[in-house]
Amino acid sequence: MNEIIVRYPPSPTGFFHIGTARTVLYNFLFAKNNKGKAIMRMEDTDKNRSEKQYEDNILSGIKKLGMAWGTDWACSEDEIEYQSKRTEIYTKYIKQLLAEDKAYYCFSTPEELNELREKAQKEKKAFRYPETWRNADKKLVQEKLDAGERSVIRYKLPKNISEITFTDAVRGEVTINLAELDDFVIAKNLTTPLYNFCVVIDDNDMNISHVIRGEDHISNTPKQILLFKEFGFEIPTFAHLPLILNADKSKLSKRKNKVSVDDYLADGFLPEALINFLALLGWNTSDEQEIFTLEELIEKFSLNRVHKAGAIFDIEKLKWINQEWIKKMDISMFYSKVLEYWNSEDVKKSEKYNFDISKFGDLSGCEENNKNIKFLKEALSLVKDRTKQLSEVFENLELFYTDDKNLQYSTDIYFHKKMKTSSETAGESLEFAKKIIENLEDSFEFTAENLKNIFIEKIKEAGFKNGYILYPLRVALSGSEFSPGTLELLEIFGKERSLIRIKRGVELVA
């Protein structure tokens, strides 16, 4: 196979899982790096569990993360392959195996098989189907079929092959002893094929060159290789990705971590950061780079740098990457991202967040004609680099929109061991700061830089330490132990609002 063709093969039986997103991403990066293409294949043969809402969620999630598909990587619905629409094709191949005596009907009941499983468990043996119907009389089989008895169709495992060996693009040579397999089920009936059968037919018909998937599929690979060979199909290159693990190295599960992509988007993680983080869950470059644009990932990605060991899902690492992406933004981009997040469907559907952005006033129109937008941008500029998730922004802006005269906080936060301040000393510090500001001439340009020069000069003249004055001032301005810098807060509040908050601080410690 000369052309690189991969497939996105999600099953619409649940919401877009973070593990599925990582698999899609690696397929996307590999194909783009090799100037290949991707085929979106919806593996919806599980009729009982497949739902349209899950399909829509998966497709929408892939688009949100910027990973399109198709020959030109467009996102049109007509480029999606549905297994449910290919039943006639599968039936043809099932009939071929039955006619060639390479598959057979099995009438063993679930009760009989469960009894055999329990016996094997008691004897501490691995259960293998005992081939009860492998060489059954054809007349008897036909009678049972005519009578409508329940059956499945099993593949007849070759007796002349003892093992299957394949070269995995991640793990190297892998050998699996066929003694570990039995005559596995390929279909419930002629019109209800199962996963291991369908994917072989699909991968051949769609000219898939590389099958890139999670390592939990390694056990399926020998079964699929046997079927590829049975039909004389060319076998694609397999690449099995490491599992994503919880911190305790158990398999990633919703009991210990969120697993839906939408949950992470609703929590305020940027798509760019999520892609960046997922790429590092099992892959890295030869250098120490950790922040990647999608273009950089495409350029640098290769299967030979994918890890074999499981990848730990470290939420703190994701937060750090997200914060680094936020730091890279200019304030206009950050403003746009924040508004987009507050208004996003992921947030609106979330039970955790309810952002009433009307508190910021009318944000329509352009900045030049809207004081609300101008002030919001100024406030955002002070919290931007401290923000790890967009979900924090709303709360972080609270201090800028609280009523100045009624600001409430515990005076205990005036205590700072290093600055040698407390609620008892705060009154002196705040009166000193208030006097400096009140004595400023009306023509004074109230900027952080100008205020820095004035305060440093006056503090030095009075024989105080900088922190002794500036820390209590920051508390009085923000009402918080942790906030943007003192001088930046003075600038954004302006002279009048700053004095009101300082006076409120004096009242609280009096």
User: Among candidates 99, 13, 90, 112, which has minimal Cα distance to 58?
Assistant: 13
User: DSSP string spanning 323-351?
Assistant: HHHHHHS-HHHHHHHHHHHHT-HHHHH-S
> Cα separation of 407 and 147, whole Å?
82
Which helix (H) or strand (E) segment holds residue 173: the answer is strand 172-177
User: Among candidates 2, 65, 4, 62, which has minimal Cα distance to 32?
Assistant: 4
Round to the nearest angstrom and report the end-to-end CA distance of the chain: 81
Provide the pairing of β-strand 185-189 with 152-155: antiparallel
Cα–Cα distances in angstroms (integers) from residue 262 to residues 57, 59, 271, in the given order? 9, 12, 10
Indicate if 254 belongs to the active site: yes
CB 243 within 8 A of CB 310: yes
Distance of CA 322 to the CA centre of its chain: 12
Q: What is the largest CA-CA distance in the chain?
A: 109
> Cα separation of 437 and 495, whole Å?
7
CB 243 within 8 A of CB 58: no
> Cα separation of 126 and 23, whole Å?
31
Cα–Cα distances in angstroms (integers) from residue 403 to residues 90, 251, 274, in the given order? 69, 48, 37
CB 382 within 8 A of CB 489: yes
Out of 63, 85, 138, 254, the active site residue is 254
Cα–Cα distances in angstroms (integers) from residue 144 to residues 102, 108, 147, 287, 489, in the given order? 19, 12, 5, 64, 83
Burial class (CB in 10 A: 0-12, 13-18, 19+), 469: buried
CA-CA-CA-CA torsion sign (456, 462, 467, 472): negative
**Which two three-digit tokens encode residue 490?**
């003075």
Please list, residue by residue across 56-86, b when 16 or more beta carbons sit within 10 angstroms of its beta carbon and e when fewer do.
ebbbbbbebbebbbeeeeeeeeebbbebeeb
User: DSSP string spanning 238-279?
Assistant: EEEEPPEE-TTSSBP-TTTS--BHHHHHHTT--HHHHHHHHH
**Strands of 5-8's sheet, edge to edge?**
5-8, 37-42, 80-82
- Residues catalogued as catalytic: 254
